[in-house]
């Protein structure tokens, strides 16, 4: 029989989602099944959010030519965007753990709306950095609470719900280069303003989701928090979280290297056009979207630890081969890399959430924020390295990053219900 763990009066006063209160209520949610309309809405909103985010990296060639930027300055734009999101996401998650904000998603999307308008009209490098920071701020508000809504609507299928949520974001990220090739390249920087209409649509959808979310929040007046007797605790949880952070580091830094500089790599090495290079980037990012979707259900079925092992280490042979491949083979390898390496996303995040289930918002914000921060910091460092060496050397160096996946051996065994 599980032994209840006492909680403080302060914790008892915190707002909590109905599905997080007791095992009985969680079982009831599992019996009802996922709320597919809500999952579809939050995933589509993630698609819109990340489509707008990915526009920033996709227009780098235009900004580079228009303002005579070097790779270090390009990396700093990514850092400005990602660092804002990274810094604020854990804080937003910690705040919403204590006081849920059902309409914060719609309000946060307003920052993205104004960031895109500012980027479209920017004529100075400093304004571009501010615009990128505003889009990052919108992401900081969006991700922690939207991940909570996805779990609430999961019906107990947490990996599946996280994958559906991640699918929207990954597919949105893949659409940025296509939209840039079709719209921004022919019509110029000012055409970015057209995409603010996407932010407007996202605001409307998120406001409706907020209206659904609000009644799901109750005040915990009298409850005990039960902890599974087989769940790891204390030092093992700390070690496991550190390992998951390291795994996310290897995964996101490699993805950042392709997302930020793959276009330049293809242009410089194979002399392809900017539009053609953006389509090759789309292939990699679309493969990321498919892999992110498949990884969650596989984690539910076979265990998250096995999916993490396969995802990080499984990509290693392909990343090692990429710097030495021709154009066609590079495209094929990038698709395999995207499929495999992104399949760990849902499992890493759900694994971390299950290690600290009563700090759900903070953990979600920390891991989403860390992913953004590593991407931004990594892009800046890799850009500096590319300026002093060349893009080909950067990809040779990054090809070894998935080897960090060996650290998965230190992940603990989770209870059967959590894998």
Tell me: pLDDT of 303 over 80.
yes
> Is the torsion defined by CA of 218, 224, 225, 228 positive or negative?
negative
Max mean pLDDT range (53-57, 339-343, 350-354) = 339-343
Half-sphere exposure of 13 (CA within 13 A, CB side): 3
Q: Residue 17: phi, psi to the nearest 5?
A: -75, 145
Average pLDDT rounded to a whole number, residues 194-199: 87
CATH class of 9-225+233-410: mainly alpha
| pLDDT reported for residue 231 | 62
Max mean pLDDT range (90-99, 166-175, 298-307) = 298-307
Q: Which of 410, 18, 30 is nearest to 214 (CA)?
A: 18
| pLDDT reported for residue 318 | 95
Half-sphere exposure of 143 (CA within 13 A, CB side): 31
pTM reported for the whole predicted model: 0.65
DSSP 183: I
Max mean pLDDT range (151-160, 226-235, 302-311) = 302-311
Q: Which of 281, 277, 297, 257 is nearest to 391 (CA)?
A: 257
Tell me: pLDDT of 224 over 70.
no
């Amino acid at each position: 029989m599980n032994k209840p763990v006492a909680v403080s009066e302060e914790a008892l006063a915190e707002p909590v989602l109905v599905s997080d209160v007791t095992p009985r209520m969680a079982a009831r949610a599992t019996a009802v099944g996922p709320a597919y309309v809500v999952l579809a809405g939050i995933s589509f909103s993630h698609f819109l959010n990340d489509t707008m985010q990915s526009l920033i990296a996709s227009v780098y060639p235009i900004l580079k030519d228009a303002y005579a930027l070097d790779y270090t300055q390009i990396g700093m734009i990514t850092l400005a965007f990602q660092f804002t999101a990274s810094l604020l996401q854990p804080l937003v998650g910690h705040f919403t753990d204590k006081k849920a904000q059902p309409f914060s998603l719609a309000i946060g999307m307003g920052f993205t709306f104004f960031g895109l308008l500012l980027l479209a009209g920017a004529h100075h490098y400093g304004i571009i950095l501010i615009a990128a920071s505003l889009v990052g701020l919108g992401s900081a508000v969006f991700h922690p609470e939207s991940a909570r809504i996805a779990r609430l609507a999961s019906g107990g299928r947490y990996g599946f719900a996280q994958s559906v949520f991640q699918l929207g974001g990954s597919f949105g990220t893949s659409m940025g280069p296509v939209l840039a090739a079709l719209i921004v390249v022919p019509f110029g920087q000012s055409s970015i303003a057209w995409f603010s209409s996407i932010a407007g649509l996202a605001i409307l959808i998120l406001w409706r989701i907020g209206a659904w979310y609000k009644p799901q929040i109750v005040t915990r007046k009298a409850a005990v928090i039960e902890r599974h007797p087989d769940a790891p605790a204390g030092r093992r949880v700390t070690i496991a979280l550190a390992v998951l952070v390291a795994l996310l580091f290897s995964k996101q830094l490699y993805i950042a290297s392709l997302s930020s500089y793959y276009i330049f790599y293809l242009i410089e090495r194979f002399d392809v056009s900017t539009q053609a290079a953006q389509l090759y980037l789309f292939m990699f990012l679309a493969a990321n979207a498919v892999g992110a979707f498949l990884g969650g259900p596989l984690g539910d079925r076979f265990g998250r630890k096995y999916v993490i092992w396969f995802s990080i280490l499984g990509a290693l042979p392909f990343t090692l081969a990429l710097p030495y491949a021709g154009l066609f083979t590079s495209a094929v390898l990038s698709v395999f890399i995207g499929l495999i390496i992104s399949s760990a996303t849902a499992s890493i995040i759900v694994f971390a959430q299950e290690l600290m289930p009563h700090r759900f918002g903070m953990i979600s914000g920390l891991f989403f924020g860390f992913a953004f921060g590593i991407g931004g910091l990594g892009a800046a460092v890799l850009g500096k390295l590319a300026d002093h060496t060349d893009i080909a050397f950067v990809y040779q160096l990054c090809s070894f990053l998935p080897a960090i996946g060996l650290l998965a051996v230190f992940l603990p065994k989770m209870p059967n219900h959590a894998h």
